[in-house]
Amino acid sequence: MKLQQLSLFLENRPGQLGAPLEAIAAEDINILTLSLADTAQFGILRLIVREWEQAKQIFEQGGWVVKQTEVVAVDVLDRPGGLAGALAVLEAAELNIEYMYAFSLRRDDKAILIFRFEDPDRAIEVLLEHGLHVVEAEELMRHVG
């Protein structure tokens, strides 16, 4: 039910983003989605790739600091209030969202969102209880592949 996300530490200066992306591109690893959180001085690049174990190794060998975390993909209706409804469920259950970002592609009438929860297992439970669709890794990969 959970997706493996890789996070990279990058300094916030020109050219820093390209090098790690080139390193995995050279091994034919495609980025399914990414998000970048940054300050004026540094940034955290978060990536979802199919071959995350291989990518992690490439980053480590390239000297980057990389961290693997579990995130949850949820699809919500791609219409006004779609996301708000999902958030209301999480809020009611007092689940803390560390951060979230949108998946880069839609599927039918749904948008996929990536959530980083403090407690991903409990979040999945709550989402399922409320009839929300948690996207499995295989399903996601098949879909984007």
Partner 1 sequence: MSNQDPDWSSENRIWNRSAETLPREEIAALQLERLRAMVERVAQVPFYRDQFKHAEIGPQSIRSLADLRRLPFTTKDDLRRHQPLGFLAVPRKELARIHGSSGTTGVPTFVAYTAQDLRTWSELCARFLVAGGLRPAHTAQVAFGYGLFTGGFGLHYGIERVGAAVIPAAAGNTRRQIDIMRELTPEVLICTPSYALTIADTARELGMDPATLPMRYGHFGGEPWTEDMRREIEDQLGLQAFNNYGLSEVFGPGVAGECPLHDGMHIQEDHFIVECLDPETLEPVAEGEPGELVITNLTREATPLIRYRTRDIARLYREPCACGRTTMRMSRVTGRTDDMLIIRGVNVFPSQIEEALLRVEGTTPHYLIEVDRPGTLDEVHVKVEMRPEIFSDRMDRMQGLCEHISREIQTVAGIRAHVDLVEPRSIERFVGKARRVLDKRRLND
Taking CB under 8 A as the binding criterion, the range among 25-33, 58-66, 88-96, 137-145 that sits at the site for partner 1 is: 58-66
56 binds partner 1 (CB under 8 A): no
Q: Which residue has 């300050």 as its token pair?
A: 39
In angstroms, give the least distance from the CB of 65 to partner 1: 5
Task: Tell me the C-alpha distance between 114 and 40, whole Å.
Answer: 24
Whose Cβ is closer to partner 1: residue 71's or residue 140's? 71
34 binds partner 1 (CB under 8 A): no
70 binds partner 1 (CB under 8 A): no
Q: Which amino acid is at 2?
A: K
Q: How many whole angstroms from its chain centre is CA 12?
A: 21
Task: Tell me the C-alpha distance between 48 and 51, whole Å.
Answer: 9
Q: Say if strands 31-38 and 2-11 run parallel, antiparallel, or are unpaired.
A: unpaired
84 binds partner 1 (CB under 8 A): no
5 binds partner 1 (CB under 8 A): yes
* CB atoms closer than 10 angstroms to residue 130: 14
- Which residues of the chain form contacts with partner 1 (CB under 8 A)? 5, 7, 9-11, 16, 37, 39, 41-42, 44, 46, 63-67, 69, 98-99, 116
